[in-house]
Amino acid sequence: MYAFQYHRPASLGEAATLLGKLGDGKALAGGQTLVAAMKLRLAQPSDLVDLGGIAELAGIQADGDALVIGALTRHADVAASADVRKRIPALAHLAGGIGDRQVRAAGTLGGSIANNDPAADYPAGVLGLGASVVTSQRSLGADEFFKGLYETALKPGELIKSVSFPVPKRAGYAKFANPASRFALIGVFVSQAASGAVRVAVTGAGNGVFRSAELEKALTASFTPDAAGAVKVPAGSCNGDLHASAEYRAHLVSVMAKRAVAAALG
């Protein structure tokens, strides 16, 4: 790790101001990706602005038909939250399956989606539920927030405050873990809103989380495991690497979609 300056602001405004002035400054949330990258000398920020002291960023609140989860809420807290487990159990399940206990005790929702790792779990939950990302400057729909490989719509100095998840009629998440890293080799989040609208988000397959039009169409027609399993996902939408070919990933998308629907239907 290279040397850096450490800052711990007490408010979001102060954090945004600091990040605005510091040339190579980075916001530090749970540090589960950034600190590891710094230890490997793959990242060398001049300054770290630790968001951990900003009280307004943590916590889970019901807001009408939505659950609002603060950006600094730890995965373990989302997994254990009675509110989340009752209203969006699929999201609690997703959070409880991220990394290992240590990662879940430190990693945060905001950190995960700001990093937008193409094999992370949370982007699938945010996109699959059609959540809104509330930042220090504005509110962004999930569809406009994720921009591909480690890219988001966040502007320099813009910080995530919270994510507002609309409570669906039903939802499910199924993840096929990479045997080595246990990141999602494929993760599929399906949801059906009270209106009947179906969203299907896929992580691990390509250069970033994406919605599957084929699966959404099939599940809109019939929200059943068999309908999902019958969809042939084009391999062209998936990546191949030493762990899996594009064909295998494409195959797993429909298998995981089938299992996610089964989970949603209980």
Contact positions toward other proteins, by CB under 8 A? 40, 176, 179-181, 183, 242-245, 248, 251-252, 255
197 vs 265 by CB, closer to other proteins: 265
Token pair in block for residue 161: 């405050």
Smallest gap from Cβ 29 to other proteins, in A, equals 20
As to burial, measured by CB atoms within 10 angstroms (0-12 exposed, 13-18 middle, 19+ buried), residue 239 is middle
Name which of 72 and 257 has its Cβ closer to other proteins.
Answer: 257
Q: Three-class SS of residue 215?
A: helix
CA distance 77 to 59: 9
CA separation for the pair 153, 30 (Å, rounded): 20
For residues 3 and 82, which CB has a smaller minimum distance to other proteins in the complex? 3
DSSP 260: H
Question: Residue 228 is inside which H or E element, if any?
Answer: helix 225-229
**Rounded CA separation 254/219 (Å):** 11
Q: Return the ∠ at Cα 36 (arms to 185 and 73), rounded to 5°.
A: 75
Considering the complex, state which of residue 194 and residue 265 has its C-beta at the smaller distance from other proteins.
265
**Alpha-carbon gap, residue 62 to 40, rounded angstroms:** 40
Distance between CA atoms of 77 and 216, rounded to whole angstroms? 30
- In the complex, minimum distance from the CB of residue 266 to other proteins, in angstroms, rounded to a whole number: 18
- Min dist. Cβ of residue 256 to other proteins (A): 9
Per the CB < 8 A criterion, the answer to whether 205 and 253 are in contact is yes
Task: Give, for 134, the enclosing helix (H) or strand (E).
Answer: strand 132-135
Give the shortest CB-176-to-other proteins separation in angstroms.
Answer: 6
CB of 224 to other proteins, least distance (A): 16
The strand pair at 47-50 and 66-70 is best described as unpaired
Q: Which is nearer to other proteins, 103 or 255 (CB)?
A: 255
Query: Minimal distance in Å, beta carbon 126 to other proteins?
Result: 23
Please, which residue, 34 or 159, has the CB nearer to other proteins? 34
Nearer to other proteins (CB atom), residue 165 or residue 183:
183
Residues in the chain: 266
Cβ at position 223, least distance to other proteins in Å: 20
Cα–Cα dist 36/174, whole Å: 27
